[in-house]
Structures are given as C-alpha cells and as structure tokens.
Amino acid sequence: MQSTDDRLVFVDVEAVGSVRKPHVIQIAAIATNGKMEELAGFEAKAQLPKGGKPKPSHSRYNKKLWDAEGSDAKKVAIEFASFLTRNATVERYSRNGQMFRVAQLVAHNSGFDSDILQAWFKQLNVYLPASFQTLCTMQRAMWLSQEAGDDFRPSDFRLVSLCKHFGIEHSPKQAHDAFNDVRATLLLYREMRMRNTPRELLRSATRPSSVGCGARKPSNLVSNAVQQNS
C-alpha cells in the first residue's frame, strides 16, 4: 500500500437495522492533511426507504427533520463516494495493472463503521472508493493503555469517555450525531498523536483541550452537499 500524501478521512456513520442490511441515516466526514489541518468536510442525512422506520430506534432520528433535511439514500452514497474520491490518496492496482486511488478512513470503533459502509454501498450498488483497512482511534487508545500501564487508565474506551479523559468537550448529549462524533474523533486523534509517552498521557488528563467538538460546523462543511477541496 502506498499513499501519495498523509491525507486521512475521519468518518462517522449513524445507522439503524442490522449490520448485514443497514439503513444509514447520517454520515459525516472530515478530510485532513498530515498536519491534521482540515481540508474539506461532508455531512448528510439519508432518508429511510418509504414505509420503513428505524428498528431499533435511534436517539437522533426525527422523522420531520429527516424529511426536511434528508436526501435519497443512493444520492447520499454517490455524493459521499465523490467526496472520498477527491480525497483519495492510497494507491491500489487493478488486475490489469492500472493504478487507482482510494481514501484512507479513520473511525472510532472502525470495525462497525467500515462494515456498515461496505454493506450499505453494496446494497445500493454504489462503488465505495475507500480502503477496507480502516484506522481506528479506539484501537490506538487501547494500545496506548497497554503500553503506558497505570499512567493511562481511562474508565473505558468509548468515545465519550476518552474525550473526557483528554479534556475534549463531547458529552453524552452530543454523542450519536455523526458530525459531533466525527469532530470528537479527529480531536481525540490529535491529542493521542501529540502525547505518545506514558508521562505525556498522564499529563494530558489534567490539561483541558482548548477546542470543543460540539460547537459550530466549520465553514467548509456544508450539510447534504460535498465541498470541493481548495
């Protein structure tokens, strides 16, 4: 696997239904460069199939809101695929030797998001231009805990708990909204990336972050649309 640069696409998916037959109701993503500077963003709500309703219920789903702001599921998938293509940097080769690129995704508990995305795109018959080797901030935190020992012992490895440990604003009331969660995931990765020794991890627990994740959306993130990279 080769990458033309260090670009990452942080992603969060909210879905109902089963892992095999999911209905994605919201996707949010933030593309960053190697310095963790935000390049572009994506957020969209996908409407459920006509006559369908969330099973089980989702804490963020509101039918009136989704009817007003949501788009057809296949349209959202195509727009998200276009966003990924514009931020694709990982080189792959087809059977005939032709090079193409896919996006490098990052998620918290990435196995869930990756499985949901793959199943949903297959369901909709849309190509997903992303590496299936998704990076995981939860796994990174677990490795840091293993290596740091008593110097880094969060209460658990949920996104809300890790954000609390690192002083990142992300309360349970903000959780399970795709935009809030993806911003929290990005801020968490920044914190862990800057503090990769036991002493630094211990110190981070007492130094609050200067940036919260539940504030306003960045100016280059447009709901239900894809923003072109600058």
31/21 Cα distance (integer angstroms): 27
The winner for highest mean pLDDT among 15-29, 96-110, 204-218 is 96-110
Are 164 and 174 a contacting pair, CB within 8 Å? no
Summarize the confidence of residues 146-170 as an average pLDDT.
Answer: 86
What tens digit of pLDDT does each residue of 67-115 get? 888 899 999 999 999 999 999 999 999 999 999 999 999 999 999 999 9
As given in the structure block, the two tokens for residue 107 are: 């998620």
Give the pLDDT score at 170: 84
**Residue 138 pLDDT exceeds 90:** yes
For β-strands 105-107 and 8-17, DSSP reports them as parallel
Q: Which CATH architecture has domain 2-134+218-225?
A: 2-Layer Sandwich (3.30)
Distance CA 215, CA 35 (A): 22
71-75, 129-133, 151-155: which range is least confident on average?
151-155
Cα gap 105→29, rounded to integer Å: 9
Long-range contacts of range 157-162, CB-CB < 8 Å, 24 or more positions apart?
A: 159/108, 159/109, 159/184, 159/185, 159/188, 162/137, 162/138, 162/188
Mean of pLDDT values over 171-184: 85
Q: Is 17 left (phi over 0), alpha (psi -120 to 50) or beta?
A: left
Domain residue ranges in the chain: 2-134+218-225, 137-204
> For the whole model, what pTM was predicted?
0.81
